[in-house]
Amino acid sequence: MNSICSTCGTQFADTPQPPVHCPVCEDERQYVGLAGQTWTTLNELRDKYKTKLEQEEDRLLSFSIDPHFAIGQHAFLVQTAEGNLLWDCLSLMDQETVNVIHAKGGLDAIAISHPHYYASMVEWSQEFGNVPVYLHADDAQWVMRPDACIQFWHGDAKEIWSGLTLIRSGGHFAGGTVLHWNAGAERKGALLTGDIIQVVPDRCHVSFMYSFPNYIPLDASAVERIVASVEPFEWDRLYGAFPGLTIQNNGKQVLYRSAERYISAIRGTFT
């Protein structure tokens, strides 16, 4: 049985009984729910939930779990001339979504921003022919279901295909990764960030945290590193971790302005 943590959505390796602990939730960046550690399975999710699909722009499809489950992130299908990439992941993989992705050419690779979104990544890989799952090596300890499909990458950037690049920004996790898609936003460039760069509800700013649920901020140097990691790339649109939270235009300027605001706030100079 591959148990799934009900709080963070991480799927674990096959065991006769659910694990006693979820290390992902017991880490200070996450939490164990008020009811204690609880578990579900992929089949149980299929009985209770469905996937909501949204066409974000040409060749970019997002999908999320409805109603809200675990952290509530959305994942993306990024279509390129060289292959289709699943960016970030969901705990639920239902047949409707599988059929839609197969109709668009299937998956050629998966890449994930950070451990909170590892979800059911091995299930997704297996469904589409054991495609590689690219995770940054700095976060290897957080893999709860090891598998041969997982490929750890090192360094600060990895080009998957032409115009599609993984960037290690750090911050939330040591291997925290964002995706640069050169053809996104009508070829102005798009950045898909999970919550490494978190789009906030006003959709005019972004923010940064070591732990979002526990309100632990990052220090100034970590935020400066995040900004520096994406500065060399051309991009205009920024897709955040959750449905509807997208900076449609001038994303780079929003990032600069938001980082300046954040750093002044934690240094006590914000007015």
Determine contact, residues 225/213, Cβ cutoff 8 Å: no
The β-bridge relationship of strands 150-153 and 133-136 is parallel
Residue 187, number of CB atoms within 10 A of its CB:
11
Task: Give the mean pLDDT of the chain.
Answer: 97
What are 31-83's pLDDT values in tens digits? 999 999 999 999 999 999 999 999 999 999 999 999 999 999 999 999 999 99
Determine contact, residues 28/211, Cβ cutoff 8 Å: yes
Residue with tokens 């690779």: 109
Q: In the prediction, which pLDDT does 270 show?
A: 80
- CA atoms 92, 95, 96, 102: torsion sign: positive
Q: In the prediction, which pLDDT does 218 show?
A: 98
- Phi and psi for 120 in degrees, rounded to 5? -100, 45
Cα dihedral 102→98→243→75 (10° resolution): -80
What are 172-185's pLDDT values in tens digits? 999 999 999 999 99
Residue with tokens 């992941």: 89
What are 95-143's pLDDT values in tens digits? 999 999 999 999 999 999 999 999 999 999 999 999 999 999 999 999 9
Residue 134, number of CB atoms within 10 A of its CB:
18
Residue 62, helix vs strand vs coil: strand
For the chain, the 3-state helix, strand and coil shares in percent, each to the nearest 5, are 25, 30, 50
Residue with tokens 């009508």: 186
First to last CA, the chain: 53
State whether CATH 3.60.15.10 applies to domain 4-266.
Answer: yes
Q: In the prediction, which pLDDT does 271 show?
A: 72
Spell out the domain ranges in the chain.
4-266
Determine contact, residues 6/38, Cβ cutoff 8 Å: yes
What are 186-210's pLDDT values in tens digits? 999 999 999 999 999 999 999 999 9
Residue with tokens 């799952």: 133
Residue 4, number of CB atoms within 10 A of its CB:
29
Task: Tell me the sheet residues that pair with 239.
Answer: 192, 246
Could you write out the DSSP letters of every residue in 162-223?
TTEEEEE--SSSTT-EEEEETTHHHHT-EEE-TTTSEEPTTSS-EE-EEETTTTEEPPHHHH
pTM above 0.85, yes or no: yes
- Residues for the chain: how many in total? 271
